[in-house]
A = this chain, B = another copy of it.
Amino acid sequence: MTAAPKPRQTRQRTEILSALAAAGDFRSAQQWHDVLRHESSTVGLATVYRALQSLAESGEVDAVVTDSGETLYRRCEAGEEHHHHLRCRRCGAAEEIDVPDFEDWAAKLARKHGYSSLDHTVEITGLCTVCARSSD
């Protein structure tokens, strides 16, 4: 129940949000930083890391962890509602997907095993049409 410590509206945060809104794919903090730099922004890398992290916690952006441990972020259509992705592991493109009944099913199953404080990850990765074509 910690009161929401609302972040200040700063130039940097605004720029970062804009970048996220402009491109809809999943990218790492470093990649977003590059994007901003190319748009002649002067945001620092550490700031990008902090902002994305904070935005992900508040649910304003989605974060996924790749198999190699990198964290990717993207601003989603679905807003702050919980949802899952079908994502291209090559280019970061992603579709929001609906996994019918999964939440309830998971909760029931976990309860049966005595687990509490649940959380879950359901991500499907593959190659999108474009990347599949250009990969051979």
Contacts and interface: CB of A to CB of B under 8 A. Distances in A.
A86 B109 contact: yes
Tell me the dominant secondary structure on chain A's binding face. Answer: strand
Interface stretch (A5-13, A35-43, A44-52, A126-134): A126-134
User: How many copies of this protein are present in the complex?
Assistant: 2
Interface string A92-127: 000101000000001001100111111111111111
A128 B120 CA distance: 14
A81 interface: no
B97 A124 contact: no
Contacts of A132: 114-117
B67 A88 contact: no
A88 B65 contact: no
Interface of A: 65-67, 69-71, 86, 88-89, 95, 97, 106, 109-110, 113-129, 132
Q: Please provide the 6 A-B residue pairs with the shortest distance between their CB atoms, ordered closest to farther.
A: A69-B69, A115-B126, A114-B129, A118-B126, A120-B124, A117-B127
